Amino acid sequence: MTLESLEKTAAEGPPPESPATAGEPTLPEPPPSAEKRFLRYGMMPHMLCPGCGHGIVFEAMLRALSSRYEQLDDIAFVAGIGCSSRVVGYVDACTLHTTHGRPLTFATGLKLARPELKVVVVTGDGDGLSIGGNHLIHAARRNVDLTCVLFNNEIYGMTGGQLAPTTIPGAYTSTSPQGNAETPFDAARLVEAAGATYVARAQSYRTREFEEVFLQALDHRGFSFVEVMTDCTEYFGRTNRLGNGADLLFSQARVEPAIDADLAGRSTLQEVPPRPVRPVLEMGVLHESSRPTLDQAMKLSGAGS
Amino acid sequence: MSQQLIQGNEACARGALAAGCSFFAGYPISPSSEIAELLARELPPRGSVFIQMEDEIASMGAVLGASLGGRRAMTATSGPGFTLMQEHLGYASLAEIPCVVIDVMRGGPSTGLPTSPAQGDVMQARWGSHGDRATIALAPGSVQEVYSLTIEAFRLAETLRTPVAVLYDEVIGHMREGVELREPTPDELGRRTSPRTAFSPTFLPYAPDENGVAMVPDFGRGYRFHVTGLMHDERGYPTSDNAKVAELLERLERKLEPAVAAVPPERYRLDDASVVLIAYGIVARTARAAVDVLRREGIRAGLLRTRLLWPLPAAALTEVSRSAELVVVAEMNRGQWALEVERLAGDTTVLSPYLKAGGSVITAEELAGHVRRLTREGVAVS
């Protein structure tokens, strides 16, 4: 698709499928996707790298939303700064691309101002756990009624692959050239301890499971948190010689022992070097509880201004 | 109408309520905390929102989120907190999100003098955020004016879609005076710009109206659109097109010009003045007394009291500073606004600012003494 045609689709929506030219090899038609109607075509082309896990997760988010909503008029998407945060701009909804680390502060204000709106925060591991870590624990403590999806790719992608508070021990980044000496945060356990009432973890490798917990998080009344492990191919993958996007997805799978055994015999799987080793992380719903949300406790009516 | 004896910070909270403020997010800091304390009592019973956030960065973020939701929103702070808010003030300027920030100035830099008055945040209000940010800053000089200018701050913020700072010092914040709490008229309240067309896929949230103010809708009112701190086009989509960026920055500056006429300076005994004092805030009170003292001594002194720091009321400053023989900018800092006057004054005018940054108010006697010394030296003909 050319830039001009993308500009054109800003106003017109997706272009009609062009008929295959005679003589050119034809690819099988992709199945029609409901989620595409939520795309903001004027924002294309997107800025994600080939193989980036964020695109996989983003598509899964849209698919989940399309199973629930006809239009996204009453959902606000709020994001910070970073590769993951950029995806909110690609959703045809009220979207707010805020400052680095602060999306939850904007989201808290918006939710209290307009309790009837559904608020979804998209953040990254640098945005949400490093510069925005304080806001994350306070939003969880307050049980602000919103859904926070944290894309964890263990690195700062947008700025060029620097160390994150989630980078696994020993991993190489542009600011840990000798290997990471620090211990990473467990985001899910952190927000659970801070008071979040729904906590789940998923992977870009298993999007159905992600969609499931994302929908549960949307349905949950209170602060719901989904950490989703995704891969930065260009920086994390290359710097640590972990292969391409597909290899990284397989390496996500490998931390699950059963899948690892299943994959062991496959010749296509690139051998993962001994370092860094991704820890085995518990996936699925990690915590669920119920207590009054902040707007309930403040007795806000939801009538707006 | 009867008057009430209240302190400056209470007048500010009363003004905010009269202006229709329905959202406050803040963080405790001396000497501004009374504003938050009063609004914590007054907002919730009205169905409005008060929230104490985890810090000033979060406070300003929450204010902007609430404003995008359609609320008239504000925060109150002092120097160190104002510093933490600067990034989000830049965001509000660029994304055109209305909000009001009260800065009750104390001595700085750093933790400084938390309970002493100062006027050290004048340049922070102007240049505290990175980039060429145009902004509005008001400077009330009495408790009554804290009330009226807080209302005016909301009007300017809403109608021009911009952050507006109200700067006053600790003395005005804690001083008690009789205040008439007059309810503002609809014109004095003003209305936020809103789109003139229904939502369509070609809707342009950042298209300016005839006054150069973007007509951005509130969230969740049937319009789907994008808000970003990146340079953006009229669609609200990020752009790095140099011409579009330059045009945006120029518009954001130009749209604030109406503030200059809206908040005119007060002229006191200026008509035949050869010595012009220029002051704002609490110092304008003592400067007025100094003018009277000097006049009794035969020195033709006058006062230009500004209530608007930014955008700079350049025309008024140029006029008085060029017609006078001696101009004395009096302020409680190391010379911030004095620099602005210096670059506007004519070559023949003698400039001799009176500056005091130690944590107490410039007295009338100090200021009169300064002028007396200069006139004895033959600087200005009395």
User: B88 and A111: CB-CB below 8 Å?
Assistant: no
SS3 B75: strand
Q: Which domains, from first to last, does chain B contain?
A: 4-189 (3.40.50.970), 264-376 (3.40.50.920)
**Distance to chain A for B224, nearest Cα, Å:** 5
Give the pLDDT confidence score for residue A265 in this predicted structure.
Answer: 52
**Distance to chain B for A77, nearest Cα, Å:** 9
A6 lies in some domain: no
Name the least confident of A214-228, A263-277, B118-132.
A263-277
Q: pLDDT of chain B along its 382 residues, tens only?
A: 689 999 999 999 999 999 999 999 999 999 999 999 999 999 999 999 999 999 999 999 999 999 999 999 999 999 999 999 999 999 999 999 999 999 999 999 999 999 999 999 999 999 999 999 999 999 999 999 999 999 999 999 999 999 999 999 999 999 999 999 999 999 999 999 999 999 999 999 999 999 999 999 999 999 999 999 999 999 999 999 999 999 999 999 999 999 999 999 999 999 999 999 999 999 999 999 999 999 999 999 999 999 999 999 999 999 998 889 999 999 999 999 999 999 998 788 899 999 999 999 999 999 999 999 999 988 765 4
Question: How many Cα atoms sit within 13 Å of A255 on the Cβ side?
Answer: 18
**Minimum Cα–Cα distance from A134: chain B residue:** B54
Chain B interface mutation, best of A70, A97, A122, highest count of B Cβ atoms under 10 Å: A97
Which has the higher per-residue pLDDT, B380 or A202?
A: A202
With a cut of 50, say whether residue A272 has pLDDT above it: no
A298 lies in some domain: no
User: B225 and A76: CB-CB below 8 Å?
Assistant: no
Q: What phi and psi, each to the nearest 5 degrees, are found at residue B223? A: -105, 130
Digit-coded pLDDT (tens) for A116-145 = 999 999 999 999 999 999 999 999 999 999
**Distance to chain A for B63, nearest Cα, Å:** 6
Name the least confident of A34-48, A210-224, A247-261, B257-271.
A247-261
Q: How far apart are the first and last CA of chain A?
A: 43
User: B224 and A78: CB-CB below 8 Å?
Assistant: no
Digit-coded pLDDT (tens) for A174-187 = 999 998 999 999 99
- Is A13 part of the contact surface with chain B (CB cutoff 8 Å)? yes
Give the pLDDT confidence score for residue A280 in this predicted structure.
Answer: 74
Distance between CA A100 and CA B230 in Å, rounded?
A: 12
With a cut of 60, say whether residue A5 has pLDDT above it: no
Retrieve residue A94's tokens.
Answer: 């009220």
Which has the higher per-residue pLDDT, A302 or B244?
A: B244
Q: Residues of B numbered 199-238 whose beta carbons fall under 8 angstroms of chain A's beta carbons: which are they?
A: 201-202, 219-220, 222-230, 235, 237-238
With a cut of 60, say whether residue A268 has pLDDT above it: no
A300 lies in some domain: no
User: B220 and A95: CB-CB below 8 Å?
Assistant: no
Give the pLDDT confidence score for residue A304 in this predicted structure.
Answer: 40
A65 lies in some domain: yes
Residues of chain A above pLDDT 70, percent: 80
Q: Is the dihedral of CA B60, B65, B68, B74 positive or negative?
A: negative
**Distance to chain B for A86, nearest Cα, Å:** 10
- Is B65 part of the contact surface with chain A (CB cutoff 8 Å)? yes
Nearest Cα residue to B54 out of B62, B46, B44: B62
CATH number of the structural domain spanning residue A215: 3.40.50.970
A108 lies in some domain: yes
**Any idea which residue has 């049937």 for tokens?**
B222
Distance of CA A74 to CAs A11, A139, B101, B219, Å?
21, 21, 29, 8
Q: pLDDT band for A278, please (50, 70, 90 cuts).
A: low
Retrieve residue A276's tokens.
Answer: 């860094």
Q: Residues of B numbered 293-332 whose beta carbons fall under 8 angstroms of chain A's beta carbons: which are they?
A: none
ipTM score of complex: 0.97
Buried b (16+ CB within 10 A) or exposed e, A268-288: ebeebeeebebeebebebbee
Give contacts of A12 with chain B, Cβ < 8 Å.
201
Retrieve residue A25's tokens.
Answer: 């090899």
E runs forming strands in A93-193: 94-97, 118-124, 147-152
Which residue range(s) make up the domain with A228? 35-288
Is the bond preceding B31 in cis, omega lying within 30 degrees of 0? yes
A202 lies in some domain: yes
User: A107 and B238: CB-CB below 8 Å?
Assistant: no
How high is the mean pLDDT of chain A? 86
Distance of CA B197 to CAs B96, B194, B205, Å?
19, 9, 10
The answer to whether residues A142 and A298 touch, using CB atoms and an 8 Å cutoff, is no
**What's the number of domains chain A is made of?**
1
**Minimum Cα–Cα distance from A118: chain B residue:** B220
A234 lies in some domain: yes
With a cut of 70, say whether residue A302 has pLDDT above it: no
